[in-house]
Amino acid sequence: MLFGSTKVIGLDIGTSTIKLVELNVNRGTAEVISFGVAPTPQAAVMNGEILDSLPISETVTRILEQVKTKRKRVATGLWGTSVIVKRINVPQMDESLLQEQIKWEAEQYIPFDMSEVSIDFHLIPEHRSQDVMEVLLVAAKNETVYRYAELVENSGLECSVVDVNGFALANCFEFNYGNSQKEVIGLLNVGAACTNFVVLENGHTSFVRDIPVGGGNYTADIQSHLGVSLDEAESLKISAGIGQEVPEEVFDVLTSSNELFLEELQRSIDFYQASSNAGEIKRFYITGGSIALPNLLESLQNGLNVPVEIMNPFKKIKYNDKKFNADYIAQISNFVSVPLGLALRKGTK
């Protein structure tokens, strides 16, 4: 979004893991030709902010050595506090004039000096009247954008596209499911530190928000209530998620954590509905490395009272079966939607 190029590698830098995807995209088809993942260096990323770029660059370099890609251009995504996405109204105007006008409109909504931020926008076609048009305003501090670009370049690559993880999630969904849905759909990507929440209206992205709750909160809750170390709490959470035997109180904590997650999500849903004339969200698709948490899907479905379905990022995206087997693809499917959405990007030259 903030930069553009073609044939990019998708690079997703999360709190827990760093994921890299390379796709062959041709005439509406896409095939995974390389994929790599490694743990994120401890304390290098917090709430989407890059705190220490050097160990991240070193990790990306190791992944590149494993996947042996020849591409150099990268699309990476901002998330958490590193990016601001706001839904705003602007006067009706020709779209060719909007690029310049949006800078003046942004001053009302962005709490930073305009000379210190990079601005972009996404038009919401469903909410356009004779006098007003609605857009999603996207802003990131230049310092933050440069930090992401710096770590990419220190890995021997070229930062070609700086996107937003929420938009990348929507991009992956639309490629796999099409953009012709007539109902309002919610997307959730439940990560370690936050959950990307996206709303699609008639196949168009109309709302993006990062909720500061993820799998790490569940681990912290177990640690606090059971008085164990963080590593022990993480182990108990994972064991509960795969059906291994754990103390009953672990499930009590996880149930309580599910309720807190639902409360945070409901607040974001309420905010979306208060800022939109669209109808209620009729269906959710969920993905992310933390969706294996016990009873999370059931808790969301019962609490939201709408169908909640696991998103399949490989519904239409294919993979090279000489390099990947079906079991491996099944193992990674829950946490590749964002890097796949980034790898699908083709900016302008």
Mean pLDDT calculated for residue range 240-254:
93
Domain ranges of the chain: 9-216+258-343
pLDDT for the residue numbered 126: 64
Which CATH superfamily is 9-216+258-343 part of?
Answer: ATPase, nucleotide binding domain (3.30.420.40)
Q: Which residue has the higher pLDDT, 7 or 78?
A: 78
Model confidence at 257, pLDDT cuts 50, 70, 90, reads very high
pLDDT for the residue numbered 4: 43
DSSP state letters, 233-293: HHHHHHHHHTT----HHHHHHHHHHHHHHHHHHHHHHHHHHHT--S----EEEEESTTTTS
Backbone φ and ψ of 14, nearest 5°: -105, 175
3-state secondary structure of 223: helix
Is the pLDDT confidence value at 85 over 60?
A: yes
Please write the tens of the pLDDT for every residue from 307-327.
999 999 999 999 988 899 999
Model confidence at 93, pLDDT cuts 50, 70, 90, reads confident
pLDDT for the residue numbered 97: 85
Written in H, E and C, the secondary structure of 302-313 is HHHCCCEEECCC
Please write the tens of the pLDDT for every residue from 131-183.
888 899 999 999 999 999 999 999 999 999 999 999 999 999 999 998 766 78
Instruction: Tokens for 201, please give them.
Output: 């209206």
Is the pLDDT confidence value at 66 over 90?
A: yes
pLDDT for the residue numbered 328: 96
pLDDT for the residue numbered 127: 61
What integer best gives the mean pLDDT of the chain?
Answer: 91
Report the C-alpha gap between 273 and 17 in whole angstroms.
Answer: 33
Report the C-alpha gap between 135 and 3 in whole angstroms.
Answer: 19
pLDDT for the residue numbered 180: 65
Please write the tens of the pLDDT for every residue from 29-42.
999 999 999 999 99
